[in-house]
Amino acid sequence: MKVYNIAIDGPSGAGKSTVAKILAGRLGIMYLDTGALYRAVGLKAMRCGWDENDEKVAALLEDTDVSVRFENGLQKVYLDGEDVTEAIRLGGVSEYGSRFSALPSVRRALLGMQRKAASEASCVLDGRDIGTCVLPDAEYKFFLTASVDNRAKRRYEELKNKGQSVTLEKVREDIVARDERDTNRPVAPLRKADDAIEINSDDMSADEVAERMIGYIRK
């Protein structure tokens, strides 16, 4: 069977990961959470106190091993041999991942890994620059968006359910700041690919978004 890829881009909190998992499950293909790779780098930066100096980070990455494994159909992320799948979802790591993902050295280090995974098996990839940079020739491209308020509410509920102590106001501030960084970073900024289909998820459930995407794919 021919390998094909589905790229889902969009801002933080739009529901990309949830939709991508549903889509992959219904199509019987792999889901590659590319944001998890950047969070892994962010986790190491946070733990080791890295400065956002591109040359220094490039050197530090030479002694850093970030890898993805699929175990029982689920993606596991390893950092220097440690399973950090849960650790990268804790408070503060996302911000570090966002900040360090703007560095050219980090994007270069992880670009090859993402492309290699996508070349070996049909999969859904979600992120900020999948359709524009990582896989510009992906067969199917979507840009998933939603209002800032709705994205903040979703992320707030997600963090609360994980037992984290957060406020809706702080989550909203973080999302606005994340949008600013992602949209204005000099390397691979967040933007809709010219040939991507835009979907606003404000009034749609994740299942409804996935079904709409499947409808486009089947056409």
Counting every residue, how long is the chain?
Answer: 219
Tokens of 47: 């733990």
Please name the residue that has the structure tokens 């909203």. Answer: 172
Are 16 and 126 in contact, with CB atoms under 8 Å apart? yes
17 annotated ligand binder: yes
pLDDT at residue 102, as a whole number: 86
Can you tell me the distance from the alpha carbon of 10 to that of 195, in angstroms, rounded to the nearest whole number?
14
| Residue 188 clears pLDDT 90, i.e. is over it | no
Indicate the pLDDT class of residue 120, thresholds 50, 70 and 90: confident
Report the half-sphere exposure of 117 (CA within 13 A, side-chain side): 22
101 annotated ligand binder: no
28 annotated ligand binder: no
92 annotated ligand binder: no
Lowest model confidence (mean pLDDT) among 46-55, 158-167, 209-218: 158-167
Please tell me the pTM assigned to this model. 0.81
Mean pLDDT of the chain: 92
pLDDT at residue 35, as a whole number: 86
Indicate the pLDDT class of residue 44, thresholds 50, 70 and 90: very high
Tokens of 94: 């996302």
Q: What is the pLDDT of residues 14-41, one digit of tens each?
A: 999 999 999 999 999 989 888 899 999 9
| Residue 78 clears pLDDT 70, i.e. is over it | yes
Q: Name every residue whose Cβ is closer than 8 Å to that of residue 170 and which is 6 or more positions away in sequence.
A: none
15 annotated ligand binder: yes
pLDDT at residue 98, as a whole number: 85
10 annotated ligand binder: yes
| Residue 91 clears pLDDT 80, i.e. is over it | no
Lowest model confidence (mean pLDDT) among 99-108, 190-199, 203-212: 99-108
pLDDT at residue 1, as a whole number: 67
12 annotated ligand binder: yes
pLDDT at residue 162, as a whole number: 83
Can you tell me the distance from the alpha carbon of 156 to that of 168, in angstroms, rounded to the nearest whole number?
6
- The percent of residues above 70 in pLDDT, for the chain, comes to 100
Tokens of 107: 């994007």
Rg (C-alpha) for the chain, rounded Å, is 17
127 annotated ligand binder: no
145 annotated ligand binder: no
